[in-house]
Amino acid sequence: NKTMCEVGCAAPPFRCPAVGYGGRLLEIDLRSYSGRYLVIFFYAFNNGIVRSAMEFDDRRKDFEEASCDLLGCSIDSVLSHCAHTEGRLHFPLLGDVSCKVAKSYGMLTDTGSIQPGAFIIDDKQVLRAKLPTSEASIVLDVLHQILASRPPPRLSCKRRIDQPKNCEEKRSKCEPLFPSTTPAINSAPIQMEPVSDNSYLPRYDQCYIDFFTKPGCRLPPCSIFTSF
């Protein structure tokens, strides 16, 4: 069913037996990769594993630097995977004997074999790319393009309503609160001001020491920066 694996839609979930590094038998659940990028590549049979899976294994550090995990998939059994790889691969190979994974990703042909290809799934388990090849170098280039196109993290500046646009003007009008030139060591209780996300931020304009002007001056209100 090809409608289940369109780019921009949620990746079809699955649970499937697999073989990992050293010949360990695993049970792979797609949900366990949430929070990281994932590449699933499909290949026909284990006779083609030398060219495809071994190439991914050689480039695995490049994928790790991009915070991306790897999964291989064919309709061979996990015992066949163990016999052909001897546990040398550093990522799991799915033994999709039932062809459920291949069918849900639209990779099963009419003759019952798997066509080569690869999928890139983002950290929210959304399909970001569907490639008609399982060559590691091409998949890695597309992954880098996807990561480079991500928007930067948003930064927001929240300014109090009564804050002047120019803090220097407010600072120059600072009036002494104490007749003595000795700076006061006490300060008024810090008040809390609600913001839009229902949290509270302290108001520092009640402090009686201004290190930027004369001792004993009231500190003017300044911008409060928060990041999301």
Distance in angstroms (rounded) separating the CA atoms of residues 38 and 63: 9
Q: Which two tokens stand for residue 15?
A: 């649970």
Q: Looking at this protein, which amino acid is placed at residue 12?
A: P
- Tell how far CA 65 is from the center of its chain: 12
Burial environment of residue 136 by CB neighbours within 10 A (0 to 12, 13 to 18, 19 or more): buried
Q: pLDDT over 90 for what percent of the chain?
A: 43
- What does pLDDT average to over the chain? 75
Confidence of residue 96 (pLDDT cuts 50, 70, 90): very high
pLDDT in tens, 164-201: 555 555 555 545 544 545 444 444 444 444 444 444 44
**pLDDT at residue 119, as a whole number:** 97
Least confident of 24-33, 42-51, 87-96: 42-51
Confidence of residue 39 (pLDDT cuts 50, 70, 90): very high
Instruction: Say what the pTM is.
Output: 0.65
Residue 93 has pLDDT above 80, yes or no: yes
Q: Which two tokens stand for residue 59?
A: 């480039």
Cβ–Cβ under 8 Å, residues 103 and 96: no
